[in-house]
A and B are shown apart, each in its own frame.
Chain A
Amino acid sequence: MKRILTGIVLSLVLGGVAPAAEIVPPADVPFDEYGSVETSLSGTPGDPENGRALMNKGAGNCVACHRVSELEELGFLGTIGPVLDGAADRWTEADLRGIVADAKRIFPETMMPSFYKTGGYVRPGDGFTGEAAEGELAPLLTAQEVEDLVAYLMTLHES
């Protein structure tokens, strides 16, 4: 956040040129009191098509736990989390960004992993190898992937 402010101040000083899109690091995400995040994490609009792809296997794997009617073709959608149909009607974009980034802020007991966080883990592993993680951990999703997922979720209106 400090870096972003510095960027803004600098650009003002240098004559009002818009600052380049800057990534908000996981530790600096400006969650509000409720757990929502108003501002983009990447500064680049999300791509709903890539968000849709992330819902399936891979980094997101949201359908392991959530059902979405629009994704039924993938088969064997999970039933642990709430159905995501109509998510865009029930939540604001800021809410969805907060939930994808770190759902435990809004639902402290939730089983949902925190996808944009890098610390506070018990025995963090090196992927799914079972070995200890070494060095600095990357979040489960990049800032842009969070934005892409949020963009996809914002397309889910009740028909």
Chain B
Amino acid sequence: MKTRMLSLAGLLLAGPALADPDDDTLVINGEIEIVTKAPAPAHLEDVFDTIISGWHYRNDETQAIEADDFENPGMLGVEAARDDWFEVAGTGEESCASCHGEPEEMAGVRPVYPKWNEDAGEVRTLAMQVNDCRTSRMGAEPWKYAGDEMTDMVALISSVSRGMPVDVAIDGPAQSTWEAGRDIYYTRYGRLELACANCHEDNNGSMIRADHLSQGQINGFPTYRLKNAKLNAVQSRFKGCIRDTMAETFEPGSPELVALELYVASRGNGLSVEGPSVRN
């Protein structure tokens, strides 16, 4: 028993994180102030005092890239999507701009997605809404859910809301989807039996080998990752994380990942929209 008591002491001594998030501040292009730390939303108060953007867990060089649109490679995707925005496509002979005007008109949309769609009777992500526009209004082919064109378009729509606080609704008709997402967040998947919460709730700030674990906030998606040198859709990241638990993963666009996106987005209610962010 003595050995066991000692080992418990050993566990406690080893507990504190060695690499906490930093205290830098993020202003993009010298003008867009980004809230990267905020009080935890009410539903998360028992877990965190403060919610923290993944930006704080990256090194100074990576952080600096996101602070300047001319340096941020994710803005190339935004520019590509701007071309698509004005391009007439499909049998309806219309473009996004035909109904929505300039992309800047979409300011305020990104912060509230995923969002309940009353007519469809479901929670929809921005990607789902874009494809609904393409198929039912434009008469165009849907884009691949997490393909480059879609991810670029979500980045464009996000970029015009940068600095606005994430504010997804979790009650009312969205509640059951939100609860399903919460269940997924706490489920230990795969042969490694890891839940989102194991890394991003219980161990954020710690290192898993060379990776600095963040809170797993998604206010910065789509995210340009230096690791794969492209813009990444949030659900592609979810898929990769679940795959890395040695699990049969879920596909982008699946009901499970839509629910998870709503839930994880809600954990960031109060942080600024940051996408397209830059991470390693």
Contact = CB atoms under 8 A, between A and B. Distances in A.
Given A76-B209, A79-B19, A91-B3, A124 B203 contact: no
Contact of A129 (B14, B188, B243): B243
A127 interface: yes
A131 B10 CA distance: 38
B47 interface: no
Residue in B11, B13, B193 whose Cβ sees the most chain A Cβ within 10 Å: B193
A78 B209 contact: yes
Nearest to A109: B202
Interface in B140-184: none
Residue in B190, B194, B244 whose Cβ sees the most chain A Cβ within 10 Å: B190
A76 B243 contact: no
The majority secondary structure among interface residues of chain A is: loop
A45 interface: no
B120 interface: no
A133 B191 CA distance: 10
A113 B193 contact: yes
Contacts of A64: 208-209
B239 interface: yes
Contact of A78 (B189, B207, B244, B245): B207
A36 B207 CA distance: 28
Contacts of A65: 208
Interface of B: 3-4, 6-7, 10-11, 13-14, 17-19, 187-194, 198-199, 202-203, 206-210, 213, 239, 242-249
Interface of A: 34, 63-65, 75-83, 86, 89-92, 95, 111, 113-114, 121-133, 137, 140
